[in-house]
Amino acid sequence: MKALVVYYSLTGKTRLVAEAVAEALNAKLVEIRETKPRKPRAFTYLSGSFAALANRGSSIHLIDVDLREHERVFIGSPVWASRPAPAVNSFIYGSDLQGRDVIPFFTMGGNDSSQALANISAKIERSSGKVAGSFTITTNKVSNEDIVARAKDAVKEHYGQTV
Ligand SMILES: Cc1cc2nc3c(=O)[nH]c(=O)nc-3n(C[C@H](O)[C@H](O)[C@H](O)COP(=O)(O)O)c2cc1C
């Protein structure tokens, strides 16, 4: 059964990781898109952090994928204020993850994702999913090539190749 990679990305870093994971595992790749896309600017940092801290969701486009066809679901998010991004919350809140092995992954400027991981894990479990691993990639002052290389390493190390 094929893996699924679902992700949200504001500035493209989580997208790079999601694409690398999907390619390595021959997985289906789906982007979570907000109905009112944010612009990467200072106000977004504030309002986004505030919403993430409050565990809010945001309005997202319908994701046309049958989760029951995918045993393993990778969910990618940037870390916002030590939390997953609101669009990712919305996806998890609206999904029945029963019977799925869920692997959350983050990109972030810093390198301590423990709070974000605890937060997203609780949400995944509330949606009946089982957290079956995780990884985080630091993006600050890291080239896109290195982000992709680190993503490939993380997949190889923890999740094997199914291709
Ligand atoms: C609203 C907002 C809040 C953020 N909060 C954090 C944070 O708490 N810790 C951190 O290390 N990076 C934080 N960042 C940086 C992003 O996590 C980092 O740049 C990430 O790789 C961006 O992913 P993206 O390009 O897929 O959007 C924040 C960025 C934004 C826009």
- For the chain, give the longest Cα–Cα distance: 42
Please check whether residue 124 is in contact with residue 158, taking contact to mean a CB–CB distance below 8 angstroms: no
Which of 80, 83, 120 best tests ligand 1's pocket when mutated (most atoms within 8 Å of CB)? 80
Which of 39, 45, 79 best tests ligand 1's pocket when mutated (most atoms within 8 Å of CB)? 79
Identify the domain containing residue 150 by its residue range. 4-159
Please check whether residue 77 is in contact with residue 91, taking contact to mean a CB–CB distance below 8 angstroms: no
pLDDT tens digit string along 12-61?
Answer: 999 999 999 999 999 999 999 999 999 988 999 999 999 999 999 999 99
Count of domains forming the chain: 1
Q: Is 48 in the pocket of ligand 1 (CB under 6 A)?
A: yes
Residues 6+ apart with CB under 8 A from 156: 24
Q: In the block, which residue shows the tokens 């990467």?
A: 40
For residue 15, the ligand 1 atom closest to its alpha carbon is: 26
Answer whether residue 163 shows pLDDT above 60: no
Give the model's pLDDT for residue 161.
55
Q: What's the mean per-residue pLDDT of the chain?
A: 95
Give the model's pLDDT for residue 158.
77
Cα–Cα distance, 109 to 129 (Å, whole number): 27
Q: Is 45 in the pocket of ligand 1 (CB under 6 A)?
A: yes
pLDDT tens digit string along 84-119?
Answer: 999 999 999 999 999 999 999 999 999 999 999 999
**CATH number of the domain to which 101 belongs:** 3.40.50.360
Answer yes or no: pTM beyond 0.85: yes
Q: Three-class SS of residue 100? A: coil
